[in-house]
């Protein structure tokens, strides 16, 4: 069965391609290489033994998307990762974010809904919940007004898919709301490669440990949490990748209850920034240089998933620990930087 993975050379996309291939799916990747390198294909091949098909396409190019679907007429589903994802940048370039994240989605759906049957998995985010009133966060928690254009593209994206699924019986979709994906494949053949200064906590930690950054800033220690730092649900990217395969297979096997479903993907456990730092220090043996600075604008106090729906309905549960995820992120960083 042939599956399109957009953004398949990126962080979560590449790990998902590996798990799809391991599960027997035939994968074709679309990526515009704006935030990924073609060499990721070699990393995937080293792990699975199979190099996926690859087309360099900018999904904002509607004609190119149409031509792609004519060439690969046997595609029966898509997992859509391709999107811009820097929260701060989205505030400064809202139109770029709306154009990139939404027009690509619309063009894909226009093609998929022409098929007799099509399955679609969407990369969404726990950012849709904002600061939830209750923790852990269930899928029933209300979607809060988005804090950034990036977050808004995820909310609007979900609405576009929901409305599409309502009207097209041949189209089934699942939106997966990720908590905080971290880590790398145990082979160290693929991992996260942020461009420029990392905005997310774990790549900043590993780059500081590797000597690329002088010091890590902890954004605030006066939050109402156990140690005053923000709490998040850090999920190993390999666990997350496996959830995509299970979601797709759920649609392929017609096991979905409605033709648009949402699932939270997290571990169910919240960890504070200081807990992440100390766990990293333990697994890496590196003393991290860090200091407490002011809060970062837009950060929620705490977010972690209620995993009951994912466990019981999707049949998926995260397996790997925070320590394992941090260790894998460190091993990957060391490999990329040539550190022994
Ligand atoms: C961020 C995005 C979120 C997006 C997700 C994708 C924001 C406000 N949110 O989530 O919309 O879906 O990335 O991965 O950007 N921290 C530090 N020092 C740092 C970096 C982070 O203390 O140098 C803290 C943050 O304050 C936060 C935690 O670490 O408490 C995690 O931050 P980050 O990795 O950026 O993820 P989120 O903000 O949760």
Domain membership of residue 286 (yes or no) is no
Q: What is the mean pLDDT of residues 306-330?
A: 98
Closest residue by Cα to residue 43 from 168, 185, 158: 185
Using the mean position of ligand 1's atoms as its centre, give its distance from the Cα of residue 74 in Å: 39
For residue 303, which atom of ligand 1 is closest to its CA?
39
- Which residues does the annotation mark as catalytic? 150
Look up tokens 């997992």; give the residue: 79
Stated pTM of the model: 0.98
Mean pLDDT of the chain: 97
Domain membership of residue 160 (yes or no) is yes
CATH number at residue 21: 3.40.50.720
Domain membership of residue 154 (yes or no) is yes
Q: Which residue range(s) make up the domain with 137?
A: 2-183+235-265
Task: State whether the beta carbon of 217 lies less than 6 angstroms from ligand 1.
Answer: yes
Using the mean position of ligand 1's atoms as its centre, give its distance from the Cα of residue 107 in Å: 30
Q: What is the pLDDT of residues 38-77, one digit of tens each?
A: 999 999 999 999 999 999 999 999 999 999 999 999 999 9
Atom 16 in ligand 1: residue holding the nearest Cα: 201
Asked if residue 340 has pLDDT above 90, the reply is no
Looking at residue 264, its pLDDT comes to 98
Q: What is the pLDDT of residues 213-272, one digit of tens each?
A: 999 999 999 999 999 999 999 999 999 999 999 999 999 999 999 999 999 999 999 999
Domain membership of residue 29 (yes or no) is yes
Using the mean position of ligand 1's atoms as its centre, give its distance from the Cα of residue 110 in Å: 33
Q: What is the mean pLDDT of residues 278-304?
A: 97
Task: State whether the beta carbon of 199 lies less than 6 angstroms from ligand 1.
Answer: yes
Based on the structure, what is the number of domains in the chain?
1
Domain membership of residue 111 (yes or no) is yes
Whether the Cβ atoms of residue 103 and residue 28 lie closer than 8 Å to each other: no
Domain membership of residue 52 (yes or no) is yes
**Distance of CA 83 to CAs 32, 142, 267, 340, Å?**
10, 24, 24, 34
Domain membership of residue 308 (yes or no) is no
């Amino acid at each position: 069965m042939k599956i399109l993975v957009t953004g398949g050379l990126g962080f979560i996309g590449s790990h998902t391609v590996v798990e799809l291939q391991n599960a027997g799916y035939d994968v074709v990747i679309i990526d515009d290489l704006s935030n990924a390198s073609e060499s990721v294909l070699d990393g995937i091949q080293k792990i699975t033994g199979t190099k996926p098909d690859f087309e360099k396409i900018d999904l904002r190019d509607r004609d190119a998307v149409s031509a792609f679907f004519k060439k690969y007429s046997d595609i029966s589903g898509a997992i859509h990762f391709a999107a811009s994802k820097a929260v701060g940048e989205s505030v400064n370039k809202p139109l770029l974010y709306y154009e990139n994240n939404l027009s690509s989605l619309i063009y894909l759906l226009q093609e998929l809904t022409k098929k007799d049957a099509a399955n679609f998995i969407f990369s969404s985010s726990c950012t849709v919940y904002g600061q939830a009133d209750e923790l852990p966060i269930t899928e029933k928690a209300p979607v809060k007004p988005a804090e950034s254009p990036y977050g808004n593209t995820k909310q609007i994206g979900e609405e576009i898919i929901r409305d599409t699924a309502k009207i097209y019986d041949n189209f089934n979709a699942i939106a997966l709301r990720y908590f905080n994906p971290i880590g790398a494949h145990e082979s160290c053949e693929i991992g996260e490669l942020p461009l420029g200064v990392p905005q997310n906590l774990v790549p900043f930690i590993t780059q500081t440990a590797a000597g690329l950054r002088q010091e890590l800033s902890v954004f605030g220690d006066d939050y109402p949490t156990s140690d005053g730092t923000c709490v998040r649900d850090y999920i190993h990217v390999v666990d997350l990748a496996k959830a995509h395969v299970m979601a797709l297979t759920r649609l392929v096997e017609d096991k979905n209850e409605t033709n648009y479903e949402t699932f939270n993907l997290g571990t169910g456990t919240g960890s504070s920034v200081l807990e992440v730092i100390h766990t990293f220090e333990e697994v890496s043996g590196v003393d991290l240089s860090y200091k407490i600075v002011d809060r970062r604008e837009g950060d929620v106090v705490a977010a972690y998933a209620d995993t009951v729906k994912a466990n019981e309905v999707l049949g998926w549960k995260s397996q790997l620990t925070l320590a394992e995820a941090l260790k894998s992120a460190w091993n990957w960083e060391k490999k990329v930087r040539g550190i022994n």
